[in-house]
Amino acid sequence: MKRLLLAACTVTALTACTQSVKKEHACCNPFFTEYQTPFGVPPFEQIKTEHYKPAFLTGMEEQMSEIEDIVNNTDPATFENTIAALDQSGALLSKVSQVFYGLNSANTNEELQALSKELSPILSKHSDDISLNAKLFERIKYVYENQNKEKLDKEQKKLLEETYKDFVRGGANLDSASQAKLRELNSKISMLQLTFGQNMLKETNAFKLVIDKKEDLSGLPENLIAAAAEAAAADSMEGKWVFTLHNPSIMPFLQYADNRELREKIFNGYINRGNNGNENDNTQVCAQLVAARLEKAKLMGYEDFASMALETRMAKTSKAVYALLDQVWTPAIKKAQDELADINAEIKKDGKNFQAEGWDWRYYADRAKKAKFSFDENLIRPYLKLENVRNGMFLFANKLYGVTFTAIDSIPLPHPEAEAFECKDKDGAHLGVLYLDYFPRASKRGGAWCGQYRRQTYKDGQKVAPVVTIVCNFTKPAAGQPALLTADEASTMFHEFGHALHNLFRDVHYYGISGVARDFVELPSQINEHWTFEPEMLKEYAKHYETGEVIPTELVDRLTECGKYGQGFATTEYLAASLLDMDFHVLKEIPENFDVVAFEKETLGKRGLLKQIPPRYRTTYFNHTMGGGYTAGYYSYLWSEVLDSDSYDAFKETGNIFNTDVAAKFRNFVLTPGGIDDEMTMYVNFRGKEPGIDPLLKNRGLK
């Protein structure tokens, strides 16, 4: 009945209908009232699946009413009554969207996934109804062409410019037939991206390597064995061990398991996700997605999708992207070939005569590393207790920026395993709330990310602080044991914390300029990684979980010494994925029956990719590009690494990696202004010069 009431809304009855629905749901739907929670965070424990759809539909109705008010305003269009009003529209829709999509990534279920599919075409249409509103664009264009008549500040000018460009890029200048086609393509792309992600999650969760013989666990560390036993028990397989395709399970298995046949089995399960010819197969989804994106780009007047996507980024052109990737590819492949020689030498030491395959790389590379440097990565884990690493990154932020993080009790959590902290500035001012959610579960997508349940903005002249979340998939400890992170996991925590600081420090008045270009957004995160294993930083937080002993200098020295070993593999697998992403999106024609797997093999094979190194993400589970977000943009991590390597040199050049003056400049020119300035302008304002590539090559041991 309630759904029918919403569906029956018409434009003429819009306001009355919306008010009726809100009144009907206000008593029980948390989205229709102000959150009565500490710091105004979402009341997660009160939100039920049935609350989302009414809130989404009402939010869209409210925003369309606000758009109608802008369009029907009889006063001449101005920045305030058109641009600012548009920017502030859709408050309820934004409110529910941020919670829904945040939880759909971190704690999903079949009902949420079904609702995602149901809402996808509705939301796509809603977005198009705004961006293709001719009367609205007419007012925006008037303000844009007459902006000299108003005394706009820098932030307002940037919002006006971005709003106008967004509408042009959204199809406002297309004829009616082309706009109709654009709507169709936008809806199709949205649904394909959603389907891709859901298929990937199902494929990842579907695979289980079940071991029932203790001898098959040979080589595996005790903590991994214990976690596998718990996973088996939770799946009603007591006395067995279960390993999955989640990174904290598969990656150490590939690194330590002596049983080569089992390594091959789990490796193939991992690299064939989405390519198994079953109901979750992503091959056709990817082919249709690449074709739809190209069709959209051509409709908008571009020769390929990459040209359209890169127009708003620092790189600007695919030529610039390939120039960077190719510059690093050659030394990376050479380094990988050297590492392969080491691996084959280790195989011979074992008295074996086979050539290394993909499932052998991590296992024998670990042996080669130990042989070269007498260093076992597991030696450092007792010093990387999760809570110590977390406190270390908080201390790092305090030393650089003077901010503090204090645990919050009795606050709604997005998941029972999450933690909450209040961030305060050095003057005690509230900057926001930070959630931390560490461990994998079937309801959480893979990887690590930073998101927001509320974005920073201003309301009635008062700053609204953000609610930020860091979501990871770290190795979950066995019951009663502490969570001891790997070096890579510790680095990941510092990385995502950089995104969190960017969100917490941002101070802009308009949503439309809160973001930065995709190939700039990783700078604040990647620069943080540099501090993770600096000796000065390790001495602050790397303490043995049993004895409290600070990590020995000798161990730090050995960690530093071998830190660049393995960069041939790491850089090559990343570059392969970046090149694959670009190669798909510079296509100017898509053949019938496009075979994306064959295309992947051909395009990477002709570049000389070693058969033992698959791209970090193969096409059918490459969520960064096929799921959206980093489409024609996975190169951004390397582009940002040029920036972060050069930025970190600004600290090192002073002789003090905790130099607060340099940190203040970085915060002022990079972390605070959102997208008010051009990204290279922001960088030069901080650094005093444009960056070079040499610091990156040195950091990766490629020069």
Residues classed as catalytic: 496
Residue 405: what residue type? F
- Three-class DSSP category at 114: helix
Question: Residue 43 in contact with residue 36, Cβ under 8 Å?
Answer: yes
Residue with tokens 């990204």: 679
Count each helix (H run) and each strand (E run) in the chain, helices first: 28, 9
Residue 355 identity: Q
DSSP at 514: S
**Residue 462 DSSP label:** E
Residue 457 is classified by DSSP as E
Ramachandran quadrant class, 183 (left: phi over 0; alpha: psi -120 to 50; beta: rest): alpha
* Angle between helical axes of 260-271 and 247-256 (0-180°, round to 10): 140
From the CB of residue 298, how many other CB atoms can be counted at a distance below 10 Å? 15
Length of the chain: 703
> Any idea what the Cα angle at residue 501 is, between residues 500 and 505, rounded to 5°?
125
Kindly give the residue spans of alpha helices, DSSP state H, lying in 420-534.
487-505, 523-532
Coil, strand or helix at 467: strand
By the 8 A CB rule, do 181 and 292 touch? no
Q: Which helix (H) or strand (E) holds 56?
A: helix 49-71
Neighbours of 554 (CB within 10 A): 8
As given in the structure block, the two tokens for residue 703 are 């020069």
How many Cβ atoms from other residues are within 10 Å of residue 339's Cβ? 26
Q: Can you tell me which residue has the tokens 């297309």?
A: 174
- Residue at 551: amino acid letter: I
How far apart CA 317 and CA 301 sit, in angstroms, is 15
> Cα separation of 428 and 421, whole Å?
14
Place of tokens 């993080």: 405
CA nearest neighbour of 484 among 345, 377, 615, 354: 377
Query: Which tokens sit at 504?
Result: 């917490």
d(CA 348, CA 354): 8
Q: Please give the helix or strand (H or E) that residue 458 lies within, else none.
A: strand 457-459
Measured in degrees and rounded to the nearest 5, phi and psi for residue 423 equal -100, 125
Distance CA 616, CA 606 (A): 18
What's the order of all strands across the beta sheet hosting 449-454?
404-407, 419-424, 430-437, 467-471, 449-454
Whose structure tokens read 């972060």? Answer: 644
Residues 6+ apart with CB under 8 A from 266: 207, 209, 243, 245, 250, 253, 254, 359
Residue indicated by tokens 């708003």: 312
Instruction: Strands of 244-325 (E only): list them.
Output: none
> How many Cβ atoms sit within 10 Å of the Cβ of residue 512?
22
In angstroms, what CA-CA distances link 391 with 290, 420, 421, 437, 447? 43, 13, 11, 15, 22
Secondary structure element (H or E) that encloses residue 447, with its range: none
- Token pair of 597 as six digits: 């797997």
